[in-house]
Structure 1
Amino acid sequence: MKLLNKISLWFIGVVLLITPISMYIGLLNIKKAMDQAEINRMTAANDQAAVLLKAGNTDSQFTQGRPILIRKINAPLPENRVQIEESYKHTDENGKKECLIRVNSYYQIAGQNYQISSYDYVTKADEILSGMLHSIFWKMLLVILSLLLCARILSRYIFTPFRHTMKAIKHFSIKEKTPLRLQHTNTKEFRELNIFLEKMTDKAIEDYTSVKEFSENASHELQTPLAVLRSKMELLTETRIDASQAGLIEEMYKAIDKLSLINRSLLFLTKLENHEFDTSELLDFRISCQEVLHTYEERTALKKLQVTTVFPDQVPLKIHPVLAEILLSNLFSNAIRHNNENGHIKISLTRDRLIMQNTGTPPAIPTEELFMRFKKGDQCNSGIGLGLSIVKQICQLHHFTVTYTYNKGWHTLSIYFNKHTENKEALPEKQEEDLHIPAAVS
């Protein structure tokens, strides 16, 4: 929900809460003021009747058009010379129950005590309430309409710089290394926000550039001593060595190759985390599966593995071609490496998911930990423990869901694509890119 809509709802809620309370208080004040005004008028009328009585007028005289009742009393005058009586009576005119207010005033005129009474019917509280409810309804309707109109005006004019800022942030890319420059605004809060965002993005670009250069330089510098070690090892093999020395040299070769693979894999993971493989093209994932599977035919034959595949006609998927190859290569390599002799591999591909199953021994650690870096199901194998970490990173980059389970001798790795994989747009031709990345990591 938009910010202005939330503010509008809160304001309307406060108005709806306060209005009944203020209306009740206003009703009481209006009723009290009306009654007091009527009492004051009747008190003044009684005083005028007393003045006329002193002047010798008859007690049947009406003063100011009001009914006046004048009677002699033999009892002493009460301490309170003005007494107010309020009651509800049915009137003869309309037969409805009306509020009657009577004012009794006491005087002593020419040694005789008199009671002069005036009365009148006043508007009832429910009638005032009915009128107030009618006016409140239109008032609330006017307030809500005015509020919605003001919110639209605020959104269009006052919040325009904020919308420009949000749009600029959405299109900001740290890889392009273009500083974020935002629209000038006279609003203090928006201006402070823009200054903070510009400083933050500038710092992010600077840090990204530094980390990227460091990782690339470190990878390049590590390759140089590894190449030197490999060449020295080759020279060493040309000298006279015995069998035990040859075994040691072979182990050193494997360690060097493994170190080189770790270096390239970590660099590749860094590129994935920095989103350097963005793509907006659709790829036929079925063709990628067939090509990678063809690449591993010799390895499956050496281990005497039986491969079963179920592929549809087309699987259009929005994924970088190189990343698709890396993803499938790691999956196939793991399925072969961690399989038994004369084992089985089952590959099922649909428009919604890819499921790869292979026979093998149970993993030594929980399957969810195998997606962590340098975690291996069998610590004795020659893998480096980065294969599934790369698989998970590629899936996260493309918003895929990946799961790994083991049940009754079968390893099952499932990748669920998003719902947009059924897009029927035309597939572009596959483009190859010359990137220095590992073909498969385990």
Structure 2
Amino acid sequence: MSTFRTINGEIYRITVRSMVVETQEIVVITLVYFLISLALVFVIQFYFSRAWNRRIWKPFFRNLEAMQHFSLQAARPVELVDSNIVEFSELKTEIETLTSRVIYDYNNLKEFTENISHELQTALAIMQAKLENFLNESAISDQQFEELSNLQRHIRRLANLNKKLVLLATLDQRQKNDYQEISLNDLLEEMVINFREISPVEIELEQKK
């Protein structure tokens, strides 16, 4: 709305303007735009953080999967992925060191178990055979017979326990599919020596080429 007034001999134009949009509508529109912008920021930040975290944690989850498939039967250290994160890199180094040590100790223990089982099996077989010969051939009293029979039962228990150890070692060897060559001549010579301790019968081996 405009009007003209004469003031001190000069004509002035006076214009009065009113806002078409009310103040309340402006506030509502501003608030809506602010909320939309804030929601977009949160959505963008969420997906960005998710992608970034997935990238950071990817080596960790790959190493975790490798640890889940780790087995002593494989006889090789676990293969892990390195990371740019210092903590993950240190964790990888410690896990590789630990698994290598575990495999080394396991192989040593397995070899020791196989060796001691073999030695025990031979010694127990000789003791059992000699004891049976003594019981069958010697004239002993009833008390001595009972004591020797108890000793024989203990020897059999040890022999059964040793057989279980040998069976476990054999199963483990089959699972690994680790085949190795052996010398039949050396094996037969060892068996002949053991039999000589049981019986005076002479056994000779002849090797043919």
Taking structure 2 as the reference length, the TM-score comes to: 0.58
The alpha carbon displacement at 1:128 in A equals: 3.0
CA contact (8 A) 2:72 2:103 kept: yes
CA distance in structure 1 between the aligned counterparts of 2:71 and 2:43, rounded to whole angstroms: 41
* Matching residue of 2:102: 204
| Structure 2 counterpart SS, 1:241 | coil
CA contact (8 A) 2:73 2:175 kept: no
Please tell me whether residue 260 in structure 1 is matched to residue 159 in structure 2: yes
Q: Alpha-carbon deviations, 1:367-418, whole Å to 9, x = none?
A: xxxxxxxxxxxxxxxxxxxxxxxxxxxxxxxxxxxxxxxxxxxxxxxxxxxx
* Matching residue of 1:4: none
Higher relative contact order (CA 8 A, sep 6+): 2
State the percentage of identical aligned residues. 29
Q: Alpha-carbon deviations, 1:64-122, whole Å to 9, x = none?
A: 969xxxxxxxxxxxxxxxxxxxxxxxxxx99xxxxxxxxxxxxxxxxxxxxxxxxxxx9
Structure 1: runs of 5+ lacking an equivalent = 1-56, 67-92, 95-121, 280-442
User: Structure 1 271/150 Cα, relative in aligned 2: closer, same or farther at 3 Å?
Assistant: farther
The alpha carbon displacement at 1:127 in A equals: 6.0
CA distance in structure 1 between the aligned counterparts of 2:118 and 2:169, rounded to whole angstroms: 14
* Matching residue of 1:231: 129
* Matching residue of 1:168: 66
Q: Alpha-carbon deviations, 1:130-167, whole Å to 9, x = none?
A: 63244323432442244225523552x44443344234
Q: Alpha-carbon deviations, 1:296-332, whole Å to 9, x = none?
A: xxxxxxxxxxxxxxxxxxxxxxxxxxxxxxxxxxxxx
Q: Which of 80, 83, 86 in structure 2 is aligned with 1:182?
A: 80
The alpha carbon displacement at 1:239 in A equals: 1.4
Q: Alpha-carbon deviations, 1:181-207, whole Å to 9, x = none?
A: 433433323221211111111111122
CA distance in structure 1 between the aligned counterparts of 2:48 and 2:165, rounded to whole angstroms: 56
CA distance in structure 2 between the aligned counterparts of 1:178 and 1:145, rounded to whole angstroms: 44
Structure 2: runs of 5+ lacking an equivalent = 1-7, 177-209
CA contact (8 A) 2:80 2:92 kept: yes
Q: Which has the higher strand share?
A: 1
Q: Which of 127, 132, 141 in structure 1 is aligned with 2:31?
A: 132
| Structure 1 counterpart SS, 2:31 | helix
User: Structure 1 228/154 Cα, relative in aligned 2: closer, same or farther at 3 Å?
Assistant: same
Q: Which of 21, 44, 51 in structure 2 is aligned with 1:152?
A: 51
CA distance in structure 1 between the aligned counterparts of 2:170 and 2:60, rounded to whole angstroms: 32
Please tell me whether residue 249 in structure 1 is matched to residue 148 in structure 2: yes
Q: Alpha-carbon deviations, 1:1-22, whole Å to 9, x = none?
A: xxxxxxxxxxxxxxxxxxxxxx
The alpha carbon displacement at 1:257 in A equals: 0.8
Q: Alpha-carbon deviations, 1:49-71, whole Å to 9, x = none?
A: xxxxxxxx9xxx9x9969xxxxx
User: Structure 1 130/215 Cα, relative in aligned 2: closer, same or farther at 3 Å?
Assistant: farther
* Matching residue of 1:373: none
Equivalent residue runs for 1:26-425 within 5 Å: 123=23, 128=27, 131-152=30-51, 154-155=53-54, 157-237=55-135, 238-265=137-164
| Structure 2 counterpart SS, 1:226 | helix
Q: Which has the higher helix share?
A: 2
* Matching residue of 1:381: none
CA contact (8 A) 2:128 2:155 kept: yes
CA contact (8 A) 2:62 2:80 kept: yes
| Structure 2 counterpart SS, 1:179 | coil
CA distance in structure 1 between the aligned counterparts of 2:28 and 2:82, rounded to whole angstroms: 52
CA distance in structure 2 between the aligned counterparts of 1:130 and 1:266, rounded to whole angstroms: 82
